[in-house]
Structures are given as C-alpha cells and as structure tokens.
Amino acid sequence: MKILKVNTAIAISGGGPQMVEKPRAEWSTEDKKKANLENVAKNILYKTLEKNMFSKIKTCSTTKEIWEKLTQPCEGNDQTKENKLTVAIQMFDNAKMKPGETMAEFDERFNNIVCEIIALGKIYINREIALKVMRALPREWDVKTIAMRESKDLNKL
C-alpha cells in the first residue's frame, strides 16, 4: 500500500493536484495504521492457506493480487459457477436416501448439497427443501411423511 500526499512543488494548471508517494519519515500514526493493514491482510491469508495453495501465491506482492489468484481457481468465472450450480441442482433433484444409509448420514449429505447451492447463489424456501427430503426417503417412511405433510407447516419444518 502506498501512502500518498499532494505534490506541492509542481503547480498544475487546469487539473487536480498531483499525488506523490509520502516518505516514511513524514507518515502520521494514521498513515502507519493504513500501511499495516496490507501486512495484516497478507498474514491472515498466509495463515489460512494450505501449503499447496501457498506455493501458487508466494510471488504476489499485494493482498489484492493474492485474492485475485485465489478466487479464480476456487470460485471460477461466471461460466464455471453456472456449471457448478447446474450440477448441484441436479444432485438436489436426484437426491435419494441410499439403502442402508442412516437418517443422519442422509441429512449430512443432503445439507452439503443445499449449502453448495446456496453458496452458488440459488435459494430454496424451507417448503421446497422439506418436500424434497420427504420425496427422497424410501417407501418405509411413507406413513411418516404423509403424517408430516398433513400435520406440520412445511414452511417452518
């Protein structure tokens, strides 16, 4: 981060003031805090990255460069996000409880799918999620799902 000041040595006609980098000796306490934010942000990113990701960003000089390098492979461009969302929605639509799978295992797997969809920008209302879970359960659960549909408000379930 560069701390700038107005260049008083050069008079500019017809334009705004020219900015030059302020020497460290002239920095105020506020300037020092601003300059330190860059270091704090880099430190946070460095500490949270896995070793294989760190090797990809070690040549970056600013936090902004680091962030841009990280977001591209992690998030991808708009087309990548759209493809990820399409796959996640298909997983949601095709979700079924597997034979021998416990309700806790199914719930965890299903919640992971829903969380991924939400992270990619699509929101389902509670009723849609509750109905999908009920449809995903095996036939042995039919009596319970029918009872839930009749007795519960699916928007709150």
- CA separation, residue 5 to residues 18, 24, 26, 31, 40 (Å): 8, 12, 10, 11, 23
Going by pLDDT thresholds of 50, 70 and 90, the confidence category of residue 109 is very high
- What's the CA dihedral at 62, 6, 10, 14 to 10 degrees? 100
Q: What is the chain's Cα-based Rg? A: 27
Kindly state the helix (H) or strand (E) to which residue 1 belongs, with its residue range.
none
Query: What gap in Å lies between CA 1 and CA 62, rounded to an integer?
Result: 8
Write down the pLDDT at residue 114.
Answer: 93
Structure confidence by residue, pLDDT tens digits, 73-90: 666 677 788 888 899 999
Structure tokens at 5: 């000041």
Kindly state the helix (H) or strand (E) to which residue 67 belongs, with its residue range.
helix 63-75
Q: Which amino acid is at 114?
A: V
